[in-house]
Amino acid sequence: MSGSPSTLRQFVATVPAKRLVHLGGLALLCAGVVVSVAVAAPQVVGANHSYVVMSGSMSPTIEAGDVVFVRDAAPASIEEGDVITFRSGTDSNSVLTTHRVVAVDHSGGQPAFQTKGDANEDPDPRPIPADDVVGRVWFHLPYVGHLVLFAQSRLGVITLVVVPSVLLVVTEAYELARAAFGDSDAGATSGEGEG
């Protein structure tokens, strides 16, 4: 490489920065893959279920847009203060809700749980029977649910699947064309075959 020593020093100085950018990009990609796998297959991280929180009823502990990871739990092991996910509503119109247990009623054969969202002033209107409990929240990831919901939208599919797929096909087609036609073009422009 020809050039002044200062140009060479500038080039050498930029190489580590580029490497750091590449390593940072690789780290973000790996983190994205790990989080995506954990949300799609929560068993990988030791949970049984994962759900996107849609409301702020558990704020500030769990915000709307967070993903909760839920482990199955025996109803007898659930205590006051635990955060649980349960089915609420009628069977045909059942909704999953994640709230904190504020009281446990052991008077029947199975425990029933009085629940309340941390941001709510009043407890939920009806006790939750043990059969409606999905499990105990093990941990949550902030903001990840926003990405999950975006990925499930039409724009998200276009942005995260269609555009990268088209770019991959175009890049591969370009590389194949360059490999097929690049050698003959390189020979013609380099002056080979001239007498």
Q: What is the 3-state secondary structure (H, E, C) of 7-36?
A: HHHHHHHHHHHHHHHHHHHHHHHHHHHHHH
Does residue 130 share a domain with residue 52? Answer: yes
Question: 15 is in which domain, residue-wise?
Answer: 1-40
Q: What percent of the chain has pLDDT over 90?
A: 65
Task: List, for the chain, all residue ranges whose pLDDT scores fall below the cut of 70.
Answer: 1-5, 8-9, 11-15, 90-92, 183-195
What per-residue confidence (pLDDT) applies to 22?
82
pTM of structure: 0.74
Is residue 195 included in any domain, yes or no? no
Q: What pLDDT, in 10s, does the model give residues 69-86?
A: 999 999 999 999 999 999
Contact 111, 160 (CB under 8 A): no
User: What values do phi and psi take at 106, rounded to 5?
Assistant: -100, 15
User: Domains in the chain: how many in total?
Assistant: 3
Is residue 2 included in any domain, yes or no? yes
Q: How many CB atoms lie within 10 A of CB 172?
A: 10
What per-residue confidence (pLDDT) applies to 100?
98
What per-residue confidence (pLDDT) applies to 15?
62
Q: Please give the angle made by the CA atoms of 40, 42 and 44, to the nearest 5 degrees.
A: 105
Does residue 51 share a domain with residue 118? Answer: yes
